[in-house]
Amino acid sequence: MAGLMVNSQNNITLNAYQHKYEIEEVLIYLAILIKAVSKNTFDQNLDNFKDKSGNLRKGKIIEYIISGLDSFPNLKKTISKAYNPNLRNIIGHNDYKIKDNSLFTIDDELIITNHDFIEAFYSMQELHNALIWTISNIEINKNVEEYSDCGVLAIGYYYNKEIDIPEIHLFQLWCFSQCDPEKKWLKKAQIYKDKKNITTKLTDICVFSGEITS
């Protein structure tokens, strides 16, 4: 669930939003947590939020989550902004057009402005990253060394003219980076180039591929 830089609405960012919306684990985790706190019940199945086929009814579970967060206004605001069912449905049905950097229906009815879309997207990203931090922090405390090379979000390359040497910038979630601030786990970096793509292997589980840019 690494971050994506978003500054405008286009087909890529709209599809990215929809994909994030469809991640059910986030909603399940929150619903179970709220139910456990409010009713002292650990309901792992959440059958009352599923249809006859066993599929999760996202609209219903989102309403339940939001209604249970009155004591946490900031979190409630974030989730309310992040999960826009109307936006998700229109993207899913490909029933929209982008005009003047805003999203409209085929009949020219405004769906969402660019500003509000960016707020929704980053609210979703903020929520997902917060859950990653919470869950991973619990796991890390069990075995710190085992997770020292986890949580790497991105790798960037930079040429430092002052010391005449290329540098690798490593972006790692705080909860993981604190396991080893000096990065003793990083023994070597293997780099492979293939046309316009570059693959960087730091460890067996920490491998990144991406397009080479300026």
95-128: pLDDT as tens digits: 788 888 888 888 888 888 888 999 999 999 888 8
Digit-coded pLDDT (tens) for 54-100: 898 998 999 999 998 888 899 899 999 999 988 888 888 887 888 88
Instruction: Quickly count helices (H) and strands (E) in the chain.
Output: 7, 8
Residue 103: CB atoms within 10 A of its CB come to: 21
**SS3 category, 166:** strand
CB 136 within 8 A of CB 175: yes
Tell me how far apart the alpha carbons of residues 111 and 86 are, in angstroms, rounded to a whole number.
8
If you count them, how many residues does the chain have?
214
Digit-coded pLDDT (tens) for 137-171: 666 566 666 777 887 877 888 877 888 777 888 88
CA dihedral over 159, 176, 73, 66, signed as positive or negative: positive
Going by their DSSP bridges, the two strands 110-112 and 102-104 should be labelled as antiparallel
Cβ neighbours for 114, distance < 8 A, ≥ 6 positions apart: 8, 9, 101, 102
